[in-house]
Chain A
Amino acid sequence: MILFRDVSKKYDSLTALAPTDLEIESGKTTALIGSSGCGKSTVLRLIVGLIEPTTGTIEIDGHSVTPAAILDIRRRIGYVIQDGGLFPHLTAEENAGLMWRYLKRPRTEMRLRLEELCDLTRFPVGGLARYPAELSGGQRQRVSLMRALMLDPQVLLLDEPLGALDPLVRAGLQTDLKTIFQQLGKTVVLVTHDMAEAGYLADAIVLMREGRIIQKGTLGDLRDRPADAFVSEFISAQRSLVAI
């Protein structure tokens, strides 16, 4: 469980996140959604310690996120960003196995783990020797996902993982992600601005605006019992959802 207690983040006069309490359930997929600049990425960056909160505390499964503990915490979190964040000088295999090697885990088991993940993410084993420049956008995201899952983390964070992909590739990956999330049963936090994606992939949706949480619930909760006019507005703006 990821727990935010009275967490806020300010940059000088700009408030990225107003004081917030938030509980993200273990083993479930939670989507953070909202327009750009609403603070959803801030929440993710706070969890991995890329930024430090101005006030409040964050806990992951009982361990609080502090600068001293951050390396351990990060190694128990998988993180995927929009363009994959693969290192161009390393092959797919080297990217995915980077931390495995760094932590000097057995090489023989690494190969098995990689094949297992190729299977899970539907990435061809033959592509492991390729460099990011030789992969398609969708394949890069699959490798990025492999890298995030390599050490079998308890928590998986995805920051607009499909944002840069074309609709067909995107739809395919959405299907695969749903399967993966269900199969692994990890605590997943997904940042997106696409309500359809959130509704399809997530068990719980957290709708944010201007650094505040407006409503948390299932897609049904948000649609049928909107907390305020903005929630209805946000949902009806996503036209295709009306038919669901």
Chain B
Amino acid sequence: MKLKITAAVFLLLLVSFIYSACGRRPSIIVASKRFTESYVLGEIAKRMLENQGLNVEHRQGMGGGGIVWTALQTGQITLYPEYTGTVREEILKLKGDAGPDRMRAELAKEGVGMTGELGFDNTYALVMRREQADRLGVRKISDLRGHPDLIVRPSPEFLQRQDGWEPLSRRYDLAMRDVRGVDHALGYTALANGKIDVMDAYSTDAQIAEFDLVVLEDDLKFFPQYKAVFLYRLDIPPEALKALNLLVGTISEEKMIRLNAEAERTKDYTKAAALYFEESPKTAGKSDESLAWNIARWTFRHLELVSISMLLAIAAGLPLGIRASRPGFAGQLILGAAGVIQTIPSIALLTMLIAVPFLGIGTATAIVALFLYSLLPIVRNTAAGLQDIPGSLRESAEVLGLEPRARLIKIYLPMASRAILAGIKTSTIINVGTATLAAFIGGGGLGEPIVSGLALNDTSTVLKGAIPSAVLALLVQFAFNGLDRLLIPKGLRLTESK
């Protein structure tokens, strides 16, 4: 038992060492937010910089705005596409209409620069089905006042923004009765199917044309301008900045809608990016990779995330559970803390962890988050399993003259092994599911197709991640049943069957 633990810890150290040794860091890291246009712009920037001979990585589709900004601020990414309205209202929280110079001055304080405008204005807009809007005679946002029963489903981000739903409904004096957040990509399908009536959109979204939607006129001029720009770290290599500036003023609204439509149609950002460079959308190497290879790659990465975080969780959870099994305040504290961690929403936990300097965007943060989520079942089951040992057997172990450590290792832990293994099993299965969230912060794994599939509203891509991860969870369950037979002492299994 002792040997096994030592071996596990050693293996863990080895794996993490190899991991950090192999992690070659590209000089430029482009990030994008989790919607089509951001992916496409990120991909275009990547291509442009690569054409200058730079080594570039594109971390696609990272969570909401907060995650990407934090990553840029802390130097974990080099640049990402953003909109002037967001910079003003959300990032800098400037009131009124601060101009680009003011914004650049404020951004510089954070070590961040802003390019010139790329050429299009992707402002927020409210959209409805054309058929319904015509029937109800709604053309302007103020017309919504007469229809408070329409089902409104803005994206969660829009619901929270300073230039989002709340201030908008105050300005327009709207009293909509049914307002809740829904993922942006999912919202379009729901709107097209008539499940919802009003949602927010970006004025360059390809779906506006595709689903025959109307943009409601912003008659009170509520929405600020959302000119596309790139935000970059001021310590960016000069040749990279030069390349980035080549993009300024080159993307009109029509062009952006076309690029977005291309991305939606082909479900492939690299092809959309290629279209920008007016190349024939020849199949780039990446999209040519076979499905089996991709799934294998995602699955391997997924297993990597799960196994490293589980090894850590077991290594920490067992001692914590042992401590928590003893009466007293410390035990309560441990169980309480593990419980509180479990209640933090995963996206919030990821955002919090990204701000920790040595974690940052990517694998390390994903592993730490998964580790934290895996603790509770292990700690609680270990504690409960140990507490369930009858007092008479504890005393028998004591009066034999075994030292406390030996009592724990030879008697108590084997007797609690069934409960402990059950805790590890629960943890692992939850972990396999939760690990899909790693993709939000560039951690990879089977969440990668799920996240990009959601952004593209492409169910088949989502299933490429969802099915393997479900199969993986089943396999884990199956493997643990075998492990039970191997690790739970025979004498205990006899007791159970009686």
Contact = CB atoms under 8 A, between A and B. Distances in A.
Contacts of A73: 401
A81 B392 CA distance: 8
Contacts of B401: 71-75, 99
Most chain A CB atoms below 10 A, which of B406, B411, B489: B489
B495 interface: yes
Contacts of B494: 88, 131, 133-134
A98 B417 CA distance: 19
B399 A79 contact: yes
Interface string B480-498: 0000000001111011001
B385 to A, nearest CB: 12
B402 A88 contact: no
Contacts of A48: 398-399
A102 interface: yes
B415 interface: yes
B160 interface: no
Interface in B174-222: none
A81 B395 contact: yes
A102 B415 contact: no
Contacts of A87: 393, 396-397, 411, 415, 491
Given A90-B491, A99-B401, A79 B410 contact: no
A67 interface: no
Contact of B495 (A74, A77, A79, A133): A133
A237 interface: no
Contact of A133 (B392, B398, B498): B498
B395 A89 contact: no
Given A71-B401, A99-B402, A133-B498, A50 B395 contact: yes
A134 B497 CA distance: 11
B410 A88 contact: no
Contacts of B399: 48, 50, 74, 77, 79
B402 to A, nearest CB: 6
Contacts of A85: 392-393, 395-396
A19 interface: no
Given A48-B399, A99-B402, A131-B495, 14 more contacts: A73-B401, A75-B400, A79-B400, A83-B392, A85-B393, A85-B396, A87-B397, A87-B411, A87-B415, A88-B415, A89-B417, A98-B400, A102-B406, A102-B410
24 contacts: A48-B399, A50-B398, A71-B401, A73-B401, A74-B399, A79-B399, A81-B392, A85-B395, A86-B396, A87-B393, A87-B411, A87-B415, A87-B491, A88-B415, A88-B492, A89-B415, A90-B491, A91-B491, A99-B400, A102-B402, A102-B406, A132-B491, A133-B491, A133-B495
